[in-house]
Amino acid sequence: MAKASLMDFDKALELFEPVLGFEVHVELNTKTKMFCGCANEFGQGANTNTCPTCLGLPGGLPQMNEKAIESSIRLGLALGCDIAEYSRFARKNYFYPDTAKNFQTSQYDEPIAFDGELTIELASGRQVTVQIERAHMEDDAGKLTHKGGATGRIQGADYSLVDYNRGGVPLVEIVTRMIEGGESDSPEIAKTYVAAVREIVKALGVSNARMEEGNVRCDANVSLRPRGSNILGTRTETKNVNSLRSVERAVRYEIQRQAALLSAGGTITQETRHWHEDTGTTSAGRPKSDADDYRYFPEPDLVPMAPSREWVEELRATLPEPPAARRKRLQSDWGFANLEFQDVVNSDLLDVVEATVAAGASAQSARKWWTGEIARLANVAGVPADTLVQPVQVAGLIELVEAGTLTDRLARQVLEGVIAGEGTPAEVVENRGLAVVSDDGPLIAAIDDALASQPDVLAKIKDGKVQAAGAVIGAVMKAMRGQADAARVRELVLERAGQAG
């Protein structure tokens, strides 16, 4: 594959106006699949979650999952969509080995939700309103693994293996209208839009929203319109871009590639393109052609949905605060500086910090622990921070620190104990005997010993050089093997040295 030539991004923007469009597929986190009672679980043994329906065996029939419909309606409402009074599934007919029935059960001209919008805010503060054309339901395909050949990719493989566990998992596909006027912000718009959708589905609780597991997948359409022209360019569709950073890069890459090609007198082929994470490039996939004839028709094995207006309003009442509004509110409630707040948001720790504050911790302490020690441990363990420890435990830990029962150093040990499953922070303190010594007796004995062995220091303190106390404090902490509250030791040192107060 010849390497495509790219035009400088700014130059491309001088010559062309990028026009974007996105199709974001969201995998719902229902307990069961869209049309059968098989479990919707990631990472199970191959073909363990299958039945005659999702395997497309002769005689299998679909049954609609009510929860999936509820989730789709809630998602539609959160995107500001109208909910259809009458909506149907259709069959999209095409042959492919990962599609058990050789048709996808999808919504065609009668989607459950349509005509919405989502306003996103870029880093510059620029607000962009993305028009949502529709959000429709469909079922996912199974998973193919390509074997043999050099690359493990489809090209050059000798054969492929199919696992239908994912086949039939409910998806909502959110389709935008054309996004114009993005200009040089276009790559950032792409990333921010997908991030916003991801945030919404997470806030709704309708998807696990893990992009790395394919819960949220983006197809990015890019076309270029020559400046001064009102004719749309031919678009390409870059499929299955599965991280926010990649979405941004893929859009930037396509703008640069298409600009170079057009400027050199070439034409853009309407085609799907594949994103390659390793090289940061896209490559040509299948061209769109007249042969794409999906022969849609209403799925005769299912009956129409006519969600009652009462039901829709009930579901509307369950919608959480929109994520953008929530972020504004939390930042102001917590009094965080922009950078502090961004740190929490970017680390995906907003929920746990909020829960920790709700459990009684101060916002700053919650932020400090989650973005600091817990994030560090999570990084070491290679797991998301929010899976390591419960907010309520973190709040308990912070409470012990603030009550003077634990020093920060001890608290880190307690945290390790909590993560190791040794119990609540209080139980870990108890079992490991980690509490700060609060009885002054042993402390005073240790201080007196330390002062006695460092008479020069004692003299300095008595002279008013209170910073000299540090050496004594260090010795005392060492003697106490850390199980003392440094602040209290300092108080006592000054007191014993005659500098009370």
Partner 1 sequence: MPEITAEQVAHLAHLARIDLSQDEITSLTAELGQIVEAVAKVQEVATPDVAATSHPIPLSNVFRPDTVVESLTVEQALSGAPDRDGDKFKVPAILDEE
Partner 2 sequence: MTDLIRLSANDLSGLLADRSISSVEATTAHLDHIDAVDGDVHAFLHVARDAALQTAADIDARRASGEPLGPLAGVPIAIKDVLATKDMPSTSGSKILEGWIPPYDATVVARLRAADLVPLGKTNMDEFAMGSSTEHSAYGPTRNPWDLERIPGGSGGGSAAAVSAFEAPLALGSDTGGSIRQPAAVTGSVGVKPTYGGVSRYGAIALASSLDQVGPVSRSVLDAAMLHDVIGGHDPLDSTSLTDAWPSMTQAARAGFEDGALKGVRVGVVKELNGSGFQPGVKQRFDETLALLEGAGAEIIEVSAPNFEYAVAAYYLILPAEASSNLARFDSVRFGIRVNPEDGPLTSERVMAATREAGFGPEVKRRIILGTYALSAGYYDAYYGSAQKVRTLIQRDFDAAFAQADVLVSPAAPTTAFKFGEKLDDPMAMYLNDITTIPANLAGVPGLGLPMGLAPEDGLPVGLQVMAPARADARLYTFGAAVEQLLESTWGHTMLSQAPVLAPNEMFASEEGVV
What residues line the site for partner 1 (CB under 8 A)? 30-32, 36-39, 45-52, 55, 57, 63-69, 93-97, 102, 144-148, 154, 157-164, 272, 285-286, 291, 293, 295, 298, 300, 302-307
Angle, alpha carbons 162-166-170 (nearest 5°):
145
- Min separation Cβ 335 and partner 1, Å: 41
Residue found under tokens 């028009």: 131
Inter-CA distances, 178 with 82, 129, 133, 251, 273, Å? 19, 11, 9, 14, 19
Among 39, 51, 392, 426, which residue interacts with Zn ion (rule: CB under 5 A)?
51
147 binds partner 2 (CB under 8 A): no
List, in order, residues 6 or more apart from 371 with CB less than 8 Å away. 343, 344, 347, 349
**DSSP secondary structure, 6-38, as one string:** ---HHHHHHHEEEEEEEEEEEE---SB-SSSSS
Q: Which CB sits closer to partner 2, 106 or 246?
A: 106
Q: Which CB sits closer to partner 1, 153 or 376?
A: 153
Query: Of Mg ion, partner 2, Zn ion, none, which one sits near residue 173, judging by CB under 5 to 8 A according to partner kind?
Result: Mg ion
- Min separation Cβ 107 and Mg ion, Å: 9
166-205 CB burial, b ≥16 within 10 A, e <16: bbbbbbbbbbbeebeebeebbbbbbbbbbbbbbbbbbbbe
**DSSP secondary structure, 134-149, as one string:** EEEEEE---EEEEEST
**For 421, phi and psi rounded to 5 degrees?**
85, 25
Q: Which CB sits closer to partner 1, 64 or 419?
A: 64
| Residue among 462, 28, 8, 3 nearest 210 (CA) | 28
Query: Of Zn ion, partner 1, partner 2, none, which one sits near residue 56, judging by CB under 5 to 8 A according to partner kind?
Result: partner 2
- Single-letter amino acid code for the residue at 298: P
Q: Which stretch binds partner 2 (CB under 8 A): 119-127, 299-307, 397-405, 483-491?
A: 299-307
- Min separation Cβ 106 and Mg ion, Å: 5
169 binds Zn ion (CB under 5 A): no
Among 139, 173, 199, 485, which residue interacts with Mg ion (rule: CB under 5 A)?
173
User: 213: helix, coil or strand?
Assistant: helix
- Min separation Cβ 53 and partner 2, Å: 8
64 binds Zn ion (CB under 5 A): no
Residue 23 to residue 240: CA distance in whole angstroms: 10
Among 43, 300, 382, 433, which residue interacts with partner 2 (rule: CB under 8 A)?
300
> How many whole angstroms from its chain centre is CA 167?
23
- Min separation Cβ 103 and partner 2, Å: 6
* Residues 18 and 131: beta-carbon distance below 8 Å: no
102 binds partner 2 (CB under 8 A): yes
Query: Of Zn ion, Mg ion, partner 2, none, which one sits near residue 93, judging by CB under 5 to 8 A according to partner kind?
Result: partner 2
Among 10, 212, 278, 293, which residue interacts with partner 2 (rule: CB under 8 A)?
293
What spatial distance separates the first Cα and last Cα of the chain, rounded to whole Å? 77
Among 28, 38, 357, 450, which residue interacts with Zn ion (rule: CB under 5 A)?
38
Query: Of partner 1, Mg ion, partner 2, none, which one sits near residue 359, judging by CB under 5 to 8 A according to partner kind?
Result: none
Six-digit token string for 316: 């509307």
Query: Of Mg ion, partner 1, partner 2, none, which one sits near residue 101, judging by CB under 5 to 8 A according to partner kind?
Result: partner 2
- Min separation Cβ 138 and Mg ion, Å: 5
Q: Which stretch binds partner 2 (CB under 8 A): 54-62, 269-277, 436-444, 461-469?
A: 54-62
Q: Which CB sits closer to partner 2, 265 or 300?
A: 300
Task: Give the chain's radius of gyration (CA, Å).
Answer: 30
* Residues 199 and 205: beta-carbon distance below 8 Å: no
Six-digit token string for 165: 């566990």
Query: Of partner 2, Zn ion, partner 1, none, which one sits near residue 384, judging by CB under 5 to 8 A according to partner kind?
Result: none
54 binds Zn ion (CB under 5 A): yes
**DSSP secondary structure, 198-265, as one string:** HHHHHHHTS----GGGTSEEEEEEEEEEETT--SPPPPEEEEEE-SHHHHHHHHHHHHHHHHHHHHTT
Q: Which CB sits closer to partner 1, 28 or 195?
A: 28
Among 88, 91, 217, 367, which residue interacts with partner 2 (rule: CB under 8 A)?
91
Residue 292 to residue 92: CA distance in whole angstroms: 11
- According to DSSP, residue 467 is labeled G
User: 87: helix, coil or strand?
Assistant: strand
Contacts of Zn ion in 405-424 (CB under 5 A): none
Q: Which CB sits closer to partner 2, 212 or 293?
A: 293
55 binds partner 2 (CB under 8 A): yes
Residues in the chain: 501
- Min separation Cβ 142 and partner 2, Å: 10
Residue 398 to residue 392: CA distance in whole angstroms: 10
**Contact residues for Zn ion, defined by CB under 5 A:** 36, 38, 51, 53-54
**Contact residues for Mg ion, defined by CB under 5 A:** 173
